[in-house]
Amino acid sequence: MTPRKKILIMAHRGVTYSGFPENSLPGFQAVVDEGYDGVELDVRITKDKQLVVFHDIRLERLTDNGRGMVRTKTLAELQKLKLKSSVVETYIPSLVEVLNIFKHTHLLINIEIKSEMPMRGKIEQKVIDCVYHHGLQRQTVISSFNPLVVKKVQKIDPTMRTGFIYEKRLPNFNQKLAKGLIVTSWHPNFKAVNALLLEKAGAAGCKLYPWTVNEEKDLNRMMEIEVDGVITDFPNLAKKIFSKSNHSMHV
């Protein structure tokens, strides 16, 4: 079956398959250079209340010599740390630096707020302010696993697009919190996606952006179901698969 609509390809934490570190400036620049439709990135708040683009709560996995939690360091301290990579030398970027890369593009920017402590440091307000400062509010989705974060974003700016991220099954706690949560997109684990879920999303007026779709068979299945977009570590593979299908549609 060929898709009747364009499925957006979002590079998960930037382009990483060529060896760039996740959530790095070279990886984000590659998203633009290689022509993907969007990007997914993670934002945390520092000790001095600045915004950094970094996935983990701790520094050990992703940096050469960083130790401890991101939120216990200042932006200046974090930017002295090198991200692990065998192909490029680069550091932990601020959200300002990352959005500078995308400000003259039409890419969909999916900003996931990482906030184990939702009320700490007014992260939601700071992210929204940064997005507006770069003039990217029309092409940004602010998403989170935490329904409280999503609700706070909506309260601050009801016009901002929001996404709720979840695993195949919602934990009971989140299920309670998420009850009645109205967002512009659902971001489920791809294993939870089927035609019925797409139908439900459509009925709720929501886009469906599953993550992290990396295998050819799973990309093909998402294409058959006709999701609105995929979040993937291999946007190059998704592009190849989806463009084949689009080509056969026009032949």
pLDDT on residue 71: 94
Are the C-beta atoms of residues 185 and 206 closer than 8 Å to each other?
yes
Instruction: Identify the sign of the CA torsion 235, 238, 242, 244.
Output: positive
Number of helical (H) and strand (E) elements in the chain, helices listed first = 9, 9
* DSSP H or E stretch at residue 202: helix 195-203
pLDDT at 251 over 50: no
Question: Among 42-56, 110-124, 177-191, which range has the highest average pLDDT?
Answer: 42-56
Decide if pLDDT at 123 tops 80: yes
Is the torsion defined by CA of 116, 118, 121, 123 positive or negative? positive
Entry pTM: 0.94
Among residues 55, 106, 133, 250, the one annotated as catalytic is 55
Among residues 12, 134, 187, 247, which one is catalytic? Answer: 12
Is residue 187 annotated as part of the catalytic site, yes or no? Answer: no
Q: Phi/psi of residue 155, each to 5°?
A: -70, -40
Lookup result for tokens 């620049």: 29
Higher pLDDT, 41 or 169: 41
Q: What is the mean pLDDT of the segment spanning 218-234?
A: 97
User: What is the per-residue pLDDT across 50-89, written as a single tens digit (0 to 9) for each?
Assistant: 999 999 999 999 999 999 999 999 999 999 999 999 999 9
How high is the pLDDT of residue 120?
Answer: 63
Mean pLDDT (the chain, rounded): 92
User: pLDDT tens-digit profile of 144-186?
Assistant: 999 889 999 999 999 999 999 998 765 554 556 667 789 999 9
Is 134 a catalytic site residue?
Answer: no
